[in-house]
Structure 1
Amino acid sequence: MGLTAHVLAIDAGNSKTDVAVIGPDGSVLGTGRAGGFQPPVVGVDAAMDGLAEAVLPALAEAGVEGAGHVSACLANADLPVEERELAQALRARRWGRTVEVRNDTFAILRAGVDEPRGVAVVCGAGINCVGMRPDGATARFPAIGRISGDWGGGSGLAEEALWFAARAEDGRGEPTELARTLPAHFGLDSMYALIEALHLGHIPHERRHELTPVLFATGAAGDRIARDLVHRLGDEVVAMASVALARLDLLTEEVPVVLGGGVLAARHPALDDRIAELLAERAPKAVIRVVTAPPVLGAALLGLDDAGAAPEAHAELRAHYA
């Protein structure tokens, strides 16, 4: 059958990959799912092989060999040079006539707005922010960790909580209930025991993210150190959003600010209140939205945007995921 006018939408995060084949009318004709997308860990070729585990079944379900356009929103596409490298690798797979690669944060933004206009801050394991305007202008940050000025995300919050708790227990820092609540989460009676368990691998590294909800609960119970960390995350979210809005000349306009990722979607009251308060000062016309739709919807909408699809196609696609 060859290539068609369909859109192949790919949302590939660190932990999972979702794929959808979209017809010209916005209908979802095939879907696929695979594991996480981590080219820095496994290499680009192996990462593409991982995508194929979701892409090929989706194309087969749709009854097509390839699409007219591939809209890929990919984790670890943090810099333009990485986007270009990954786009070249996707073109080599010949899954579509044209290919557009974006960072996966753009998928969450597009899933949360009615047109490609607004800013999104995503806080999951890490933290990132992007913005876009209908004329194609974008705003973004490198978002590759502390070397690019980032603070926050679930992993970062867990590390900060452990730091304060360890110092509280051994006397180098201020008292905090985190010294009790963090080890208690794993059934341990001291920070020393938790430090030992983490260091020796008795508690796997990937389980550290479980400490982030403990931090929020401890702050909600009145602990000042934990509460201050929650407030600092709110400060970071608003700082990223307001800078992105300013870069796009949207700071004084009514515009969506989309919040996504596990930490922000959990709707912690103290964090929500802090973000709303500070954003009202920095961008008083901004409208906060929390997106819970699957990011593959955003990748697909971006694909329809690229293909110049009719508004009815966008509505059909949203109805499917609603």
Structure 2
Amino acid sequence: MYYIGIDGGGTKTETIVSDRFGRCLGSSLISGTNPNFVGADPALANVAEGVRLAMEGLDPLPIAHVAVCIPGMRKYAQEVAAALLLEPLRITAASDTMSTFYGALVKEYGVVLLAGTGSFALGVAPNGKTVTIGGWGPVIGDDGSGQLIAVKALRAAARQFDGTGPPTLLTDKIKDYYNIDSINDLKTKVALDNVSKLTYFVRDAAEAGDLIANVILRETAQNLADLVTDTLYQLEFDAEITDVALAGGLWELGDLLTAPFKALMSGVYPNVRIIPAVFPPVVGALLTAFRADGIRWTKELLDNIGTTIPERKGSK
């Protein structure tokens, strides 16, 4: 019997397949499956394609359970089951909050801060109290997210064009990215699903000393620290030591983001331990599939996952 975890967002989707003992047998990495970004039909098609790629070369054994941990996908659970040719009872459709939590901490309490295309903080206290802050999506706003970094970069370029803001290296980088001659052409180029990669141009501009890019990253660090401190406050973690695990691709920006974030956190909650995620969210999705089918997360199962995660197939 196979267990499958799927973790998707606005720009990429990871799928992992294992047996009931946590021995990972295949995986894939393809483009986005958040229906709010790419649309429902392309999202469902990508989910099916990700599973197909991850199961290439495997024996045709039955699929016991699939956890689909993708924002906005819960209302499409029936359609996911149909796309994968499975009974609906074998599908758990959820957001990426608990899968991120389970993967990052592999325990029942603590705080996970996800910073990727979107952002949120999820905290669980020892008494079971749960608090989630953020995760509102690109329209209402994901503070500290890659999407918001990209939006701020676009705004900076627009202000320079209008003559209401200072010059910034971001302008030329954005023109190159969209293959345009004038920032004014952004009005017909920008869409929700094509801005998040601008995040890395902000990092590059900041490393080159660009003032605006550095301000954007400092504001992002503050936004992310606020997510965690507000979560800890609502959980009433006054002086207790707890782990805060950092998950999501935004931390690949390195010290330009992590250093100010850690400094801000230490000034408010000095006893908090900031740690890297134990596993990526896709493993949290796999753990969600096990849990939904009544399989406990034993040390043997977790060790098997940790030593057998295979190479990814597919492309971004």
TM over 0.5: yes
Asked whether the equivalents of residues 125 and 155 of structure 1 are also in contact (C-alpha less than 8 Å), the reply is yes
Residue 49 of structure 1 and its aligned partner are, at CA, apart by 4.3
User: Judging changes above 3 Å, is the alpha-carbon distance between structure 1 residues 320 and 144 closer, same or farther for their aligned structure 2 residues?
Assistant: same
**1:157-193 residue CA offsets vs partner (Å, 9 max, x unmatched):** 22223323443454423x3x41xx12332677xxx95
User: Judging changes above 3 Å, is the alpha-carbon distance between structure 1 residues 88 and 262 closer, same or farther for their aligned structure 2 residues?
Assistant: same
In structure 2, distance between residues paired with 1:317 and 1:44: 31
Counterpart for residue 279 of structure 1: 265
Structure 2 portions without partners, runs of 5+: 311-316
Counterpart for residue 75 of structure 1: 71
**1:36-92 residue CA offsets vs partner (Å, 9 max, x unmatched):** 21334676566434322333565672532220x332211335xxxxx3x24454456
In structure 2, distance between residues paired with 1:228 and 1:252: 31
Asked whether the equivalents of residues 71 and 300 of structure 1 are also in contact (C-alpha less than 8 Å), the reply is yes
User: Judging changes above 3 Å, is the alpha-carbon distance between structure 1 residues 251 and 221 closer, same or farther for their aligned structure 2 residues?
Assistant: farther
Q: Which has the higher contact order (CA 8 A, sep 6+)?
A: 2
In structure 1, distance between residues paired with 2:110 and 2:307: 21
* Secondary structure in structure 2 of the residue aligned to 1:279: helix
Asked whether the equivalents of residues 33 and 53 of structure 1 are also in contact (C-alpha less than 8 Å), the reply is no
* 1:164-243 pair list within 5 angstroms: 164-168=156-160, 170-173=162-165, 175=166, 177-178=167-168, 181-185=169-173, 193-201=181-189, 208-243=195-230
Asked whether the equivalents of residues 24 and 309 of structure 1 are also in contact (C-alpha less than 8 Å), the reply is no
Counterpart for residue 289 of structure 1: 275
Residue 111 of structure 1 and its aligned partner are, at CA, apart by 2.5
Counterpart for residue 22 of structure 1: 18
Counterpart for residue 313 of structure 2: none
TM-score with structure 1 length normalisation? 0.76
Counterpart for residue 102 of structure 1: 94
Give the number of equivalent residue pairs.
302
The residue identity in structure 2 corresponding to 1:263 is L
Structure 1 portions without partners, runs of 5+: 78-82
Bigger Rg over Cα: 1
The residue identity in structure 1 corresponding to 2:154 is L
User: Judging changes above 3 Å, is the alpha-carbon distance between structure 1 residues 303 and 148 closer, same or farther for their aligned structure 2 residues?
Assistant: same
User: Judging changes above 3 Å, is the alpha-carbon distance between structure 1 residues 166 and 34 closer, same or farther for their aligned structure 2 residues?
Assistant: closer
**1:82-130 residue CA offsets vs partner (Å, 9 max, x unmatched):** x3x2445445653574543332243333332242432222222232332
In structure 2, distance between residues paired with 1:119 and 1:183: 37
* Secondary structure in structure 1 of the residue aligned to 2:105: coil
TM-score with structure 2 length normalisation? 0.77
* Secondary structure in structure 2 of the residue aligned to 1:319: helix
In structure 2, distance between residues paired with 1:200 and 1:142: 29
**1:298 maps to which of 284, 290, 294:** 284
Query: Percent identity at matched positions?
Result: 26
Asked whether the equivalents of residues 105 and 112 of structure 2 are also in contact (C-alpha less than 8 Å), the reply is no
Q: CA RMSD in A?
A: 3.5
In structure 1, distance between residues paired with 2:211 and 2:201: 14
**1:239-265 residue CA offsets vs partner (Å, 9 max, x unmatched):** 111222333444533222222333222
**1:208-244 residue CA offsets vs partner (Å, 9 max, x unmatched):** 4454333334444544443322211111101111222
Counterpart for residue 306 of structure 2: 318
